[in-house]
Structures are given as structure tokens and as C-alpha cells.
Amino acid sequence: MQELSQELPQLKYFVTLSPVPGFAQWLAEQQQEAQWPDSIREALDALATPNWQQDKAREERLKTAIRPLAAHYLVDQKNRHGLPLNPVARFHLGNGAELHRINWLGDVSAKGMKQAAGLMVNYLYVLDDIERNHENYTAKATVACSSEVRDLARRARKLAKGETTK
């Protein structure tokens, strides 16, 4: 970013398109253990169907279920050190990024589907926010995230409690 900023001083924002390795494994584990509503469990069962993303109705049900769960995974789920479970999230958040967007079917390659149910994530680096985000992450393990991601994580927490969401 420093090199790009020197070459192109008008740039103030930098965004990655990053994988979410480990999400599909976490999701499979949670499907066995979590107390999610039947509608979520039924939607997630479709992940076992080959080429599920080609069936528009099935794909929409999964999108509705998985995006909030991905936000919950990235924002709320921590390792034994109190940091995000996801190694890519730890890297970017530790460098002062914000978890900006969860991209549905951002990687439909075999590897992307196997690792992350096709998800990819944008991490946003805002030059004026990097130091603050880094300090909050280092001191309090705070995950800086956009309001969209925060809303998705909140929806997942409600689902986990059996509450309906809009």
C-alpha cells in the first residue's frame, strides 16, 4: 500500500478479494453441533448436492442461510487466543483492515466451493483508519467491519437463538 500510495497519491482506499479457507469445515462442524432452526439446517443440507449453485431456488436459500453464518464465523468465532478463527481474517485485520463485504459465490472453483462454499471476502484498507483498526485489534481483538457485515453477524446470532430475522 505504501508503494502504491507513493505512485498514486490520490488513492485512499485499498480493497482485497480474499479467500475464506476453513469456513466450509467450520460450517459442517456447526451443522452437527449448533442449535439452528430447521430452515437453516434444511438449506445447508443442499450443500451436499452436486452443482447446487446452478439451481436458482436452492442457491437463494443457501445464500440467505450462509452469508449471516459467514459473518458470524468471521466476526464472532475466536481461537484459543481470542482472535478470529480464520487465518486470512487474522492477517488482514491485524494489518488494520476492515472486514467490508462477504461475496456470495465469489469463487466457484472446486477449491473455492470446498473451502468456503464459494464465498470470498473483501477487506478494506482506509489509510486514515489503519492505525486505529490495528490498535483495537491488537489490544482488544476487535474486528473492524462494515455495517453490512455487522448486520449479517447480528442476524446469525438471532438465528442461533431461534429468533426469526428479516
Among residues 72, 92, 100, 134, which one is catalytic? 92
User: Is 18 tagged catalytic?
Assistant: yes
Dist. CA 106–CA 120, nearest whole Å? 5
Among residues 18, 39, 134, 146, which one is catalytic? 18
- Number of Cβ within 10 Å of residue 3's Cβ equals 7
Of 114, 123, 118, 116, the C-alpha closest to 89 is: 123
User: Is 134 tagged catalytic?
Assistant: no
Dist. CA 163–CA 36, nearest whole Å? 10
Positions marked catalytic: 18, 92
